[in-house]
């Protein structure tokens, strides 16, 4: 098919969908650093982790050697309801920009949760059900993860308790109601329902919460409730593994037409969509079979890669979770009220952190108003109303395409369009009214949070 005109959308047939996830850690010579027990400072054992997470997910979390892990048939069947997701050739965007670059995006917003998060939610719910659990607890920031998990839990008939960061709970009542439609209970965090929530409220009265606080509350409820485990929508190795379905589909679609990307771009909050999108490409890079430029895009208000340090840190504010070695701003860092809620996390996947440290990928940060300018441009040209998080990748893809216009290079750019922005219209409203601001933390603020890193 090499000489055929590339269609606007490259779809895969059902039988071309991946049957296994790809575990990039298997091809890394230097592995990501292990999670540590915050008490003993020793690597977390499977037994310790299984108090918090489902058994099979613990195995996936700790597995640094198996390259392909079969996707259970039940999960593949669920995937078929909304996958394969299209790989779109952005002909309209290319033309409007007047660039010789060829731009593709992998669109993950075609499901009710509106993002890629469903890819891991369904896997995590499946393993919880298989273990005979009653339910799961989790946190949600902007609401996409909570929505995805509610959908997955209702499919497998599991109870789902979501702690939603208070400012989102108040700002996004519609997301909350979508979760309740799928049967989840939603509690604003910090709350009076947990010991850690009460402690945080006593120390910071009136706080509007953070992902770190909500994680602490969800973990507390999971470990103290019979038949419950905690699930997390990003950061962990297991989540990157599940999200590799994005990259595997992307690569299969490109291979169909003999297309080799030069640049692969994704937004990075905890690193799951980017880790998933790049997985098979990074695998080729690690094995010396191909080379790609890979760019992580983060908000200037929460710049974990570009201004953080590579160190062991807590994953949550309450300091109950294991320590992870990652690029971090410090678990004490509370980012400004940026509208890309899904990117407001102080840390980063330890797998991506290690790859970044080995200089196998790059990172850049962009300001909120530049992101929304790109989001609006993209909506008008390509039709899709993008999520603010996804628009970070759009911004950099457009910038790279404009660079090609200057140099005349016909580079092939692939970026991850992680979701839609229908629940983010308050942010769009602020942008349209000229009320959006760009808050960039000062060196002093970053230093203050860094000083509290565990030694
Ligand atoms: C959660 C989310 C992100 C960021 O999370 P990652 O784990 O870094 O992928 C990006 N885009 C959307 C739409 C999200 O919901």
The set of residues, in sequence order, having a beta carbon less than 8 Å from that of 39 and lying 6+ positions away, is none
CA 298, CA 306: separation in Å to the nearest integer? 8
Ligand 1 atom nearest to CA at 235: 7
pLDDT value of residue 344: 82
Closest CA to 374 of 343, 405, 349, 340: 340
pLDDT value of residue 2: 46
The set of residues, in sequence order, having a beta carbon less than 8 Å from that of 435 and lying 6+ positions away, is none
Q: Is the CB of 216 under 6 A from ligand 1?
A: no
* pLDDT per residue as tens digits for the range 303-361: 999 999 999 999 877 777 899 999 999 988 878 777 887 888 889 999 999 999 999 99
Q: Is the CB of 120 under 6 A from ligand 1?
A: no
Domains 9-16+84-114+237-450 and 20-70+116-230 share a fold: yes
CA 218, CA 224: separation in Å to the nearest integer? 10
* pLDDT per residue as tens digits for the range 184-194: 999 999 999 99
Q: H/E element holding 21?
A: strand 20-22
Topology of domain 20-70+116-230 in CATH is Rossmann fold (3.40.50)
Least confident range of 126-130, 329-333, 363-367: 329-333
Ligand 1 atom nearest to CA at 387: 13
Centre of ligand 1 to C-alpha 392, Å, is 11
CA 113, CA 69: separation in Å to the nearest integer? 25
Question: Residue 211 is encoded by which pair of tokens?
Answer: 């992902």
CATH ID of 9-16+84-114+237-450, from 3.60.110.10, 3.40.50.410, 3.40.47.10, 3.40.50.1100:
3.40.50.1100
**Ligand 1, atom 13: nearest CA belongs to which residue?**
419
Ligand 1 probe mutation, 175, 268, 419, most atoms within 8 A of CB: 419
* pLDDT per residue as tens digits for the range 407-417: 999 999 999 99
Q: What is the mean pLDDT of residues 357-378?
A: 98
Q: Is the CB of 419 under 6 A from ligand 1?
A: yes
* pLDDT per residue as tens digits for the range 223-259: 999 999 999 999 999 999 999 999 999 999 999 999 9
Give the CA distances from residue 345 to residues 219, 339, 455, in Å, rounded to whole numbers and listed in that order: 17, 13, 21
Domain segments of the chain as ranges: 9-16+84-114+237-450, 20-70+116-230
* pLDDT per residue as tens digits for the range 34-60: 999 999 999 999 999 999 899 999 999
- pTM score, whole prediction: 0.96
């Amino acid at each position: 098919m090499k000489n055929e005109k590339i269609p606007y959308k490259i779809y895969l047939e059902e039988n071309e969908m991946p049957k296994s996830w790809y575990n990039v850690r298997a091809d890394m010579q230097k592995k990501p650093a292990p999670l540590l027990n915050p008490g003993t400072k020793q690597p977390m054992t499977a037994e310790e982790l299984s108090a918090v997470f489902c058994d099979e997910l613990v195995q996936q979390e700790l597995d640094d050697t198996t390259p392909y892990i079969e996707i259970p048939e039940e999960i593949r069947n669920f995937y078929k309801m909304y996958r394969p997701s299209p790989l779109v050739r952005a002909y309209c965007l290319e033309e409007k920009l007047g660039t010789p670059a060829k731009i593709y995006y992998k669109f993950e917003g075609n499901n009710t949760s509106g993002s890629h998060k469903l890819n891991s939610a369904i896997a995590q719910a499946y393993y919880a059900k298989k273990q005979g659990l009653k339910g799961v607890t989790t946190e949600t920031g902007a609401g996409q993860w909570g929505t995805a998990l509610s959908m997955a839990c209702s499919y497998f008939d599991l109870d789902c308790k979501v702690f939603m960061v208070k400012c989102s709970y108040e700002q996004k009542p519609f997301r909350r109601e979508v979760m309740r439609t799928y049967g989840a209970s939603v509690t604003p965090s910090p709350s009076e329902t947990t010991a850690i929530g009460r402690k945080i409220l006593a120390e910071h009265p009136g706080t509007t919460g953070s992902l770190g606080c909500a994680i602490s509350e969800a973990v507390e409820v999971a470990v103290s409730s019979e038949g419950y485990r905690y699930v997390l929508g990003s950061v962990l190795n297991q989540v990157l593994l599940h999200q590799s379905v994005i990259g595997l589909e992307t690569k299969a679609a490109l291979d169909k037409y003999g297309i080799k990307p030069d640049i692969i771009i994704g937004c990075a909050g905890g690193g799951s969509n980017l880790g998933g999108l790049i997985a098979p490409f990074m695998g080729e890079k690690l094995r010396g079979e191909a080379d790609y430029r890979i760019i992580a895009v983060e908000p200037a208000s929460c710049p974990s890669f570009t201004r953080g340090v590579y160190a062991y840190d807590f994953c949550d504010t309450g300091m109950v979770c294991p320590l992870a070695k990652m690029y971090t701003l410090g678990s004490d860092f509370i980012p400004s009220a940026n509208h890309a809620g899904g990117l407001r996390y102080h840390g980063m996947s330890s797998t991506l952190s290690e790859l970044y440290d080995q200089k196998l990928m790059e990172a850049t940060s962009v300001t909120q108003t530049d992101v929304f300018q790109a989001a609006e441009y993209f909506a008008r040209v390509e039709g899709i109303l993008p999520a603010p998080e996804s628009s970070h990748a759009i911004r950099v893809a457009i910038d790279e395409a404009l660079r090609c216009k200057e140099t005349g290079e016909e580079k092939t750019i692939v970026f991850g369009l992680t979701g839609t922005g229908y629940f983010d219209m308050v942010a769009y409203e602020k942008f349209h009214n000229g009320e959006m601001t760009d808050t960039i933390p000062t060196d002093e603020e970053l230093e203050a949070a860094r000083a509290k890193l565990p030694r």
